[in-house]
């Protein structure tokens, strides 16, 4: 995730206004180390998600040595299946690459299911709410050793609340945005956690005023 100094995660509804060259390099490095990229449907729509690109040669070589697929696979969380099957995420998926996986619930609308199953692999994880513990177990069963979550804040909150996060990687942008008291969202979007989660700072990198922080969950 990328955040402003005052805690905002987007500018005009998108995260790109907070980023920079170093942030994009970190973003691609984390993707390059993952088997699956987990993201909420709202973030897919807001950010205009596309299929993962082919990694740079150094990352591709490492993935091959680790016996990973050439590219990570996208996993979209959507209980309502409110996803347009013509989105670039689906329409631009390369032939030969696995279709995006969409995690949904048994109560999702049948009409949306019928449209999306033509362009994605749908998996049911719960009746009315997506069971993220069950979803991660399913991803593990199909070979995912490392899952990177790219948000948004509501999905982040659910993962932390369920105790499913091992580490948090945050790019802190040298930017002030404001607006959080008017409905802007921070890194986690949800009620107070039952118990505050203590993080341990593992590493900090800096470039062009940005801080790139890796925290481990204690």
| pLDDT tens sequence across 131-174 | 999 999 999 999 999 999 999 999 999 999 999 999 999 999 99
Are 93 and 128 members of one domain? yes
Domain boundary among 104, 125, 145: 145
Distance, in Å, from the CA atom of 168 to the CA atom of 30, rounded to the nearest integer, reads 11
Are 155 and 187 members of one domain? yes
Counting as low any pLDDT under 70, the low residues of the chain are 181-182
Distance, in Å, from the CA atom of 114 to the CA atom of 91, rounded to the nearest integer, reads 16
Question: Could you list the residue range(s) of the whole structural domain that residue 155 is in?
Answer: 1-33+151-218
Distance, in Å, from the CA atom of 109 to the CA atom of 106, rounded to the nearest integer, reads 9
Domain boundary among 85, 110, 145: 145
Total domain count, the chain: 2
**Omega before 152 cis (within 30°)?**
yes
Are 139 and 192 members of one domain? no
Are 134 and 157 members of one domain? no
How would you classify the pairing of strands 2-4 and 147-149? Answer: unpaired
pLDDT at 160: 97
Give the CA dihedral 83, 39, 17, 91, nearest 10 degrees.
-40
Distance, in Å, from the CA atom of 52 to the CA atom of 69, rounded to the nearest integer, reads 12
Are 173 and 196 members of one domain? yes
pLDDT at 99: 95
Are 47 and 134 members of one domain? yes
Domain boundary among 145, 174, 191: 145
Are 80 and 126 members of one domain? yes
Are 50 and 115 members of one domain? yes
CATH of the domain at 184: 3.40.430.10
Three-class SS state of 190: coil
pLDDT at 181: 67
Measure Cα distances from 129 to 107, 150, 188, 191 in Å: 9, 19, 18, 17
pLDDT at 56: 85
Are 27 and 109 members of one domain? no
Are 24 and 53 members of one domain? no
Computed on alpha carbons and rounded to an integer, the radius of gyration of the chain in Å comes to: 17
pLDDT at 155: 97
- Cβ partners under 8 Å of residue 138, min gap 6: 103, 123, 125
Q: What pTM, to 2 d.p., does this model score?
A: 0.94
Are 40 and 111 members of one domain? yes
Report the Cα–Cα distance between both ends of the chain, in Å, rounded. Answer: 19
Are 91 and 160 members of one domain? no
- Cβ partners under 8 Å of residue 142, min gap 6: none
């Amino acid at each position: 995730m990328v955040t402003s100094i005052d805690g905002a995660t987007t500018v005009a509804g998108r995260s790109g206004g907070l980023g920079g060259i170093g942030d994009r390099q970190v973003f691609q490095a984390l993707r390059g180390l993952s088997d699956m990229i987990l993201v909420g449907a709202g973030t897919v729509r807001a950010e205009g998600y596309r299929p993962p690109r082919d990694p740079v040669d150094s990352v591709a070589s490492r993935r091959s040595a680790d016996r990973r697929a050439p590219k990570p696979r996208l996993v979209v969380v959507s209980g309502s299946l409110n996803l347009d099957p013509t989105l670039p995420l689906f329409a631009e998926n390369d032939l030969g690459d696995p279709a995006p996986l969409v995690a949904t619930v048994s109560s999702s609308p049948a009409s949306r299911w019928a449209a999306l199953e033509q362009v994605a692999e749908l998996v049911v994880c719960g009746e009315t709410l997506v069971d993220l513990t069950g979803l991660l177990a399913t991803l593990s069963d199909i070979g995912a050793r490392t899952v990177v979550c790219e948000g948004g804040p509501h999905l982040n909150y659910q993962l932390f609340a369920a105790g499913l996060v091992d580490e948090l990687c945050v790019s802190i942008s040298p930017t002030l945005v404001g607006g959080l008291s008017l409905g802007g969202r921070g890194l986690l979007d949800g009620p107070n956690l039952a118990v505050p989660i203590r993080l341990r700072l593992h590493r900090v990198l800096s470039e062009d005023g940005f801080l790139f922080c890796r925290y481990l969950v204690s």
